[in-house]
Amino acid sequence: MAGTVVVFDFDKTIIDCDSDNWVVDGLGATELFERLLPAMPWNTLMDTMMAELHARGKSIEDIEGVLKTAPLDPRIAKGIKTAHALGCELKIVSDANTFFIETILKHHGLIGYFSEINTNPSYVDEEGRLRISPYHDFHRSSHGCPLCPPNMCKSAVVERIQSSAMAEGKKRIIYLGDGKGDYCPSLRLTESDHVMPRKNYPLWELISEDPSRIKAQVHEWSNGEEQERTLLQIIQSLLLADGHSSSQQLLSVDCKLETIPMAAHDPVLQALPVPH
């Protein structure tokens, strides 16, 4: 599957919550967050909230502790591992930030499966405060996209991934997301690509309003089990399209070769690797 790049959003796609809200709520700053929200862009607000939490005596360790409790469905973790074992290149494009994403992925043993994490940069300053910066410095210039928040247009990232993939001989992208910010990059996908919107979330609603705008094949999902099953079904169909026999043994996530019995009711599943 060297010809496939799988691009994941993070919040409400890999984890089943919004990491920004999870930290703010978990450390007792919800009231201030909601009061400031109408007054500033989200990315600027999160940097401001990290300053407030620091002023309240909350440490980086406190933030890490809350992040480690963020819900991540084990079926999603298994899907990530299986897709990687089958040779897909995995990347993240998210409007969260590096500290939040890396802390959660390291906690679940998943960070090594991703070749890229594209998100808002963050770092811990000399005072021990977490600083969060915009992916695109909108204070200097606009990225020019009316569909996206000022700090990040995911299409700009996906277009770079597409160009790089094409240069490396990769054939298609599978894009998983849930939010309004995932709609713009979904519009950039081609007929050979696949998009997986989370059902009844903003991306799914926007696609449903005018499906003709999306060139990629659309596959909805609702929960971790459906995400894992749908992603692996797509990968299996691409394996078959690339000339791999459905009777071949395939790698499972622990790198063992397995022959999976044919599922008569669902032929696409006949040679799927069983996640462990």
20 is in an annotated binding site: yes
11 is in an annotated binding site: yes
List 11, 18, 47, 193, catalytic entry = 11
Annotated catalytic residue 137: no
Q: Are 130 and 103 in contact (CB under 8 A)?
A: no
25 is in an annotated binding site: no
Annotated catalytic residue 11: yes
User: Could you give the residue ranges of the DSSP H alpha helices within the chain?
Assistant: 19-26, 30-36, 42-55, 60-67, 74-85, 98-107, 154-167, 183-187, 202-209, 224-241
List 9, 18, 47, 193, catalytic entry = 9
> How many C-beta neighbours within 10 Å does residue 153 have?
22
254 is in an annotated binding site: no
The one-letter code for the residue type at 78 is K
95 is in an annotated binding site: yes
Instruction: Tell me the C-alpha to C-alpha distance, in Å, between residue 191 and each of 4, 68, 178, 187, 224.
Output: 14, 38, 20, 11, 26
- Show which residues are catalytic: 9, 11
Annotated binding site: 9, 11, 20, 95, 178
Annotated binding site for substrate: 20, 95
Annotated binding site for Mg(2+): 9, 11, 178
